[in-house]
Amino acid sequence: MPRYSYTYKTINSLVGKAIHRYDMIQDGDRIAVGLSGGKDSLTLLWALAERRKRIRVHYDLFPIYIDPGFSGGFGGELAETCRQMGFLLTVDKTDHGLVAHSSANRENPCFLCSRWRRKRLFEIADSMGITKLALGHNKDDVIETLFLNICYAGEISTMVPRQAFFRGRFTVIRPLAMVDEQRIRRFASERQFPRFDNPCPSAGVTKRSEIKDMLERLYRTNRKIKGNIYRSMSHVKMEYLLK
């Protein structure tokens, strides 16, 4: 593959647009990058690493992987992938996934595991003197979260590209927020990123998966629908909502 393919150039352009629009990165930033082993977070790490080679803003990247504790984990293989990219991966072994899927948990296992994972990412970042966390959520994730919250939380909300936590002590950024999942999938294939099998028993059978399937069927009826949904989230007419 050429070093800078059309797919990468498009992703880089959209990442740059998101970074500038939402003021995500400043000179001197130390940024933790939450890795899952999937195509999105690996694309995020690669894109941010390549981007800093060509811009005047300097920032440092620190990839972190929270191992949920299932057998068949891939922390070692992911660490090797990061090493080949020039990074030392911090692997944190937990039992979050096991506890979340045990009879002791009465909540949605994915919700609880995700909450614990983010909490642990904050804790590790804090111990490293880092106050900014980059996550690999993409455009499809933003749209799916909107529908998840409408259908299962009874509210109109979604994840945002830049979000402050703990009264501004930490900032979460999502540089891939404008990038379609399909484009990321194509790029990951071009770069030949390794594919890790997710050992989580809930993989592919979550409410998010159901929403994703529903939206995919909708998208096939009109190619403008995804873009319209995404744009609608920044064009809200409050006077036409219930109060």
Known binding-site positions for ATP: 34-36, 40, 66, 136, 141
Q: Are strands 29-35 and 132-134 parallel, antiparallel or unpaired?
A: parallel
Known binding-site residues equal 34-36, 40, 66, 136, 141
d(CA 129, CA 170): 11
Contact (Cβ atoms closer than 8 angstroms) between residue 128 and residue 32: yes
Contact (Cβ atoms closer than 8 angstroms) between residue 149 and residue 158: yes
Q: How many CB atoms lie within 10 A of CB 16?
A: 16
Dihedral through CA 27, CA 30, CA 33, CA 34, nearest 10? -140
- The amino acid present at 143, given as its one-letter code, is I
